[in-house]
Amino acid sequence: MPVRNTFVFFGSCPGDPRFSLYVENLIGVIAGARTTVVEAGLLDPAAFDAAIAAVRGWSRDAAATLWYAVSWAEGRRPY
């Protein structure tokens, strides 16, 4: 019964010409939660916008790195 587990890696750093695309993807995901975060009172609109600006600023740092791994597991159920 074949079974495996692994990680799907997603990430980049400033040396990668696509790094800005990874950053914009991250910002897009976060920005998609803006209404929910603001309406829930977790952040006011100015603080939320400042956080997005801070991510953009961070992305210009030579040491900036964006990565995460998604767990992937596969197995076969015996019949």
CB of 70 within 8 A of CB of 6? no
Does residue 79 belong to any structural domain of this protein?
no
pLDDT at 4 (0 to 100): 85
Domain assignment of residue 41, given as a range: 4-17+26-74
For residue 55, which of 76, 25, 79 has the smallest C-alpha distance?
25
Domain count, the chain: 1
What does the pLDDT look like over 1-43, one tens digit per residue?
A: 568 889 899 899 999 999 999 999 999 999 999 999 999 999 9
Q: What is the pTM of this model?
A: 0.77
Does residue 56 belong to any structural domain of this protein?
yes
Does residue 66 belong to any structural domain of this protein?
yes
pLDDT at 77 (0 to 100): 79
